[in-house]
Amino acid sequence: MLEGKVVIITGGTRGIGLETVKVFKENKAEVILFGSRKETVEEAISKLKEENMEVKGYYPNLDNPEEINKVIGEIIKEYGKIDVLINNAGISANKKIEDTTSEEFAKIMNLNVNAIFNMTKAVVPYMKQNNEGVILNTSSMVSIYGQPSGVGYPASKFAVNGLTKSLSRELAPFHIRVNAVAPGITKTDMVAALPKEMIEPLIKTIPLGRIGEPRDIANAFLFLASDLASYITGEILSVDGAARC
């Protein structure tokens, strides 16, 4: 479905990001993963190599436009284009507002919102040159319903939705589609580590009767990145088993 496409995936070293790397490689894309540190990037590349998947990796500071532009320039020099950008890097929060510092709130906004802006701004000129492209953002079910504590996380994901919808309109004349995927409760490392007595009540809130798998989310990204979604832009696709916070 993606043969010949050059794809960048941020937050690609674990969880949903790493699974998306695998799914895109299975569909013949050239994938470049971004991670937060050299060690995690090298570890992810090593794991993928064991599965006969060759990818390149970088670890720029996503809050630093100069670092991002340098890496994007290297990618363009090697591949000549960027077809798909998946802004998946992010962090969550669960502290009540009185326990959350301004620095902690700013950190969430920097990675979950500013990084998307920085990455998107860096790749858009190259997508415009080719008169096509796909930008996909990771949102969350809490961007629709909020959550009881950790206000910075849903606030950042509401912002992701706003970026997605606004950029879809701005970039549509250049045939650049912009969408987001809003995962529900998904079996990442953090969720898998929760005790059974915490997991079972969560499952009961999901009409489909199970927690999402990273591949469920990766498949949604695959669909939106592919030509099957060629007339879809500005959408926030919920992948949550009809769960409600």
Q: Cβ contacts of residue 234 below 8 Å, gap of 6+?
A: 164, 165, 168, 169, 178, 179
For residue 206, give both structure tokens.
């999901």
Which candidate in 79, 126, 153, 231 is catalytic? Answer: 153
- 231 in active site: no
Dist CA 210 CA 203 (whole Å):
5
Q: Are 119 and 82 in contact (CB under 8 A)?
A: no
The distance of Cα 84 from the centroid of its chain, to the nearest Å, equals 12
Give the start-end residues of each E strand in the chain. 6-10, 30-34, 56-58, 84-87, 133-138, 176-183, 236-239
Residues labelled as active-site residues: 153
